[in-house]
Amino acid sequence: MLRVCQTIFSVILVLGVGARAFSQQLASDAIEHRIDTLLQQMTVSEKVGQLVQYTGNSPQTLEQVLQGKVGSLFNVVGAGDVNAAQKIAVEKSRLKIPLIFGLDVIHGYRTVFPVPIASAGSFDPELIEQAERVAAKEATAAGIKWTFAPMVDITRDPRWGRMVEGAGEDPYLGSVVAAARVRGFQGRDLADPQSVIACTKHYVAYGAVEGGRDYNTVDISEQLLREVYLPPFHAAVKAGSAALMSAFEDLNGVPATVNRHTLTDILRHDWGFNGFVVSDYGAVDELLQHGVAKDEAEAALKALTAGVEMDMADGAYAKQLGPLVESGKLPMSVLDEAVRRVLRVKFRAGLFGNPYTDPQREHTDILTTESLLVARKLAQESIVLVKNRGLLPLDKNTKTIAVIGPLADDKADQLGSWVAQGSAADAVAPLEGIKAKVPGAEILYAKGVDLDSVEGSRVFGTGAPVAAPAPSTATGVLNVGAPTGPPSINDAVHAAQKADVVILFLGELAGMTGEASSRASLDLPSKQEQLLEAIVATGKPVVLVLESGRPLDIRWANAHLSVILQAWYLGVQAGNAIADILFGDASPSARMPISWPRSVGQIPIYYNHKNTGRPTSPDRWHTGYLDESKEPLFPFGYGLTYTTFQYSNLRVETAAIAPTGTLHVTAEVQNTGQRAGTEVVQFYVHDRVAPTSRPVRELKGFSRVTLAPGEHKRP
């Protein structure tokens, strides 16, 4: 009986799947038909217009919208402004084609989540997806239907400031996270008013720029491109990413903006991508600087024919494509195909049927209690416990706590770079979070040193200007030194001497990371190293909490401290999440999404390197350095918890090896400590003999397993 029921159920299921595929096909046929009809009505100028994207909503830009010469606007935010511009497109322009409104919603819109490098370390794709769902809900409430995210660039170079925007060094983790972010942004249906179009960027290999210098040159093998840099993009495309952004850099002699091999051969032909590609900001005009186009017309022609359908910001397509069609240099079929791709996404996103944003949503959908809970959980899960010789979790009855450092009472920098509409006022600073966690304790605060901003460093976002943090006036918080005089190391030392424990917040300002924020040194900026050494010299127990968008050179700290946490930039709930972890209300579970170098000279350093012909030797004749270990300070995948785990009973089910090659490997994990905790079980492979040399280890799977003391599981 059970069998019969199962069979009937399976038949219904198959029919159900078949019916869904059939109705999807009908819908997509209908879209193609509507595009055909539109294309027949469009002038060349209107066709070109669909491929043009401008920033802002100046009167001149809106005039272009009226004339059907714009396909998308970005950095126009808020239902009021968006609806006003949309009205011109859909009610006043000749063909009434809606605009798509874009914005860099990189790690949250107003509810700012941990920076992407941090959340990748959670190894928790479900929670990341949930966070991007929140970001999509908030962004769409403000009229944004397209986010320039996820950024899925793999990088092995922490000098590159944009490491902070991606998921780190590993193609497998990067792919899982890329797909999760796309699913979160786009939801089940792109036409859902709470879904945004994802724009996976920067296609491709931008993270491999020479010397970590932003916008620089990349020259890598096809094998490296395919095995390391392409996989997260492929995963995003498979997850349905409706748009991609091409990268700025020169890739193997052919800038990514005109790289037909990656844009057309791989993306369109091999992967069957049917969305569209937008250039990065001004990148079409930059082809002149690259030296691959003699003028703007040639740049536009090369970019479009290589497979970049939309031109961001520089107006090159707007000026050049019309004359190129007229002169016969640009075939109408190429123009039509590009327009078709843009219109297809607009139809799929429901913009023709539902072009406007309900202005009420701005009051109900942004910065909600539920969103803040997701932000706090993801922030807790993004903190890596790097070292803990017994001091953590701290006792909530500790009498006097010194909270020291330039980032301790700083709200703005908790948010990280690219904060969309994030506001410093929404952020919980660490000092505030600690104070709320232990209201009975005496808290002594001292800034210690100022963090001078790196010249020209910026925090991107269109939100309200981020004000300098107000000095803390909360009851029970004693400001030592501030605000009466400039911060001094002496004041910080005095605070430490009076305390039972010191919590020291050091790192980089958020503006020292991100675009055009490469650094040649990984040192703690400003006088922080002196502050650190002076505080350690007091002999008090010290907890170091690092906030940064990249690994820093912390060899001294690692040698002299017993507790270190890497907190990255954790977003609006930073202070609360840090306090949750410090005082044991949450257990650390994040892992390093990158290999943490000892010093800048080790870069590039990554776990999935090749063995070489001389990995070791009893003497000096092997790969490495005379003056430094070749091992990272902390490896990829590393991170501690407040408990211990043991692995046993590894089972390799060889019976499952079929010609298709599936091998099942399982192991038992047991919590052998006194507290509940989460282990990130990681599965690596190594191909010992192959036609080409293979990495020493490659991550192929992982799973978060939460276990009570004594509990065991086979995940």
* Residues catalogued as catalytic: 280
Residue count, binding to ligand BGC (CB under 6 A)? 6
Angle between helices 528-537 and 489-498 (to 10 degrees): 30
Question: Between 281 and 445, whose beta carbon lies closer to ligand BGC?
Answer: 281
Question: Between 409 and 515, whose beta carbon lies closer to ligand BGC?
Answer: 515
Q: Is the dihedral of CA 555, 556, 557, 559 positive or negative?
A: positive
Strand-pair partners of 566: 384, 546
Question: Between 313 and 495, whose beta carbon lies closer to ligand BGC?
Answer: 313
Reported as type and span, the H/E element at residue 648 is strand 645-653
CA 544 – CA 541 distance, rounded (Å):
10
Minimum CB–partner distance for residue 25 and ligand BGC (Å):
33
Minimum CB–partner distance for residue 460 and ligand BGC (Å):
7
Minimum CB–partner distance for residue 104 and ligand BGC (Å):
5
Question: Between 113 and 148, whose beta carbon lies closer to ligand BGC?
Answer: 148
- Binding of ligand BGC by 280 (CB under 6 A): yes
| Nearest residue to 443 via CA among 519, 364, 498 | 498
The interface with ligand BGC within residues 175-234 (CB under 6 A) comprises 201
Minimum CB–partner distance for residue 247 and ligand BGC (Å):
8
CB 198 within 8 A of CB 181: yes
CA 370 – CA 367 distance, rounded (Å):
8
Which residue of the chain is nearest ligand BGC when measured via CB?
148
Residue 608 CB partners (closer than 8 Å, separation 6+): 169, 170, 228, 636, 695, 696, 697, 698, 699
Question: Between 514 and 637, whose beta carbon lies closer to ligand BGC?
Answer: 514
Minimum CB–partner distance for residue 278 and ligand BGC (Å):
9
**Single residue of 148, 185, 505, 642 touching ligand BGC by CB under 6 A:** 148
Minimum CB–partner distance for residue 103 and ligand BGC (Å):
8
Minimum CB–partner distance for residue 151 and ligand BGC (Å):
7
Strand-pair partners of 74: 55, 102
**CA–centroid distance for 531 within its chain:** 31
Question: Between 146 and 273, whose beta carbon lies closer to ligand BGC?
Answer: 146
- Binding of ligand BGC by 104 (CB under 6 A): yes
Residue 539 CB partners (closer than 8 Å, separation 6+): none
**Single residue of 113, 123, 281, 634 touching ligand BGC by CB under 6 A:** 281
- Binding of ligand BGC by 598 (CB under 6 A): no
The length of the chain in residues reads 715
Minimum CB–partner distance for residue 148 and ligand BGC (Å):
3
CA 227 – CA 175 distance, rounded (Å):
11
Minimum CB–partner distance for residue 462 and ligand BGC (Å):
10
Question: Between 169 and 515, whose beta carbon lies closer to ligand BGC?
Answer: 515
Question: Between 161 and 695, whose beta carbon lies closer to ligand BGC?
Answer: 161
| HEC assignment per residue over 319-350 | HHHHHHHHCCCCCHHHHHHHHHHHHHHHHHCC
Helix (H, G, I), strand (E, B) or coil at 49: helix
Minimum CB–partner distance for residue 155 and ligand BGC (Å):
14
| Nearest residue to 166 via CA among 181, 188, 144, 147 | 181
Exposure string over 72-83, b if 16+ CB within 10 A, otherwise e:
bbbebbbbebbb
Task: For residue 234, give both structure tokens.
Answer: 């492929």
CA 175 – CA 457 distance, rounded (Å):
30
Helix (H, G, I), strand (E, B) or coil at 489: helix
Residue 426 CB partners (closer than 8 Å, separation 6+): 110, 111, 112, 367, 572
Taking CA atoms, 256 is separated from 74, 185, 405, in Å, by 22, 25, 42
Question: Between 280 and 426, whose beta carbon lies closer to ligand BGC?
Answer: 280
Question: Between 57 and 670, whose beta carbon lies closer to ligand BGC?
Answer: 57
| Nearest residue to 379 via CA among 186, 581, 199, 518 | 581
CA 26 – CA 20 distance, rounded (Å):
10
Task: For residue 203, give both structure tokens.
Answer: 């296609």
Q: What share of the chain is helix, strand, coil (3-state, %, to 5)?
A: 35, 15, 45
Question: Between 467 and 516, whose beta carbon lies closer to ligand BGC?
Answer: 516
| Nearest residue to 480 via CA among 545, 402, 399 | 402
Please give the order of strands across the beta sheet that includes 442-446. Answer: 384-388, 563-566, 542-547, 501-507, 400-404, 442-446, 477-479
CA 215 – CA 28 distance, rounded (Å):
38
CA 89 – CA 69 distance, rounded (Å):
10
CA 139 – CA 131 distance, rounded (Å):
12
Residue 22 CB partners (closer than 8 Å, separation 6+): none
Task: For residue 25, give both structure tokens.
Answer: 């096909």
Minimum CB–partner distance for residue 82 and ligand BGC (Å):
17
Task: For residue 480, give both structure tokens.
Answer: 């030592």
**Single residue of 129, 413, 491, 515 touching ligand BGC by CB under 6 A:** 515
Question: Between 104 and 170, whose beta carbon lies closer to ligand BGC?
Answer: 104
Minimum CB–partner distance for residue 656 and ligand BGC (Å):
43
- Write the single-letter amino acid at 27: A
Interface with ligand BGC by CB under 6 A: which residues? 104, 148, 201, 280-281, 515
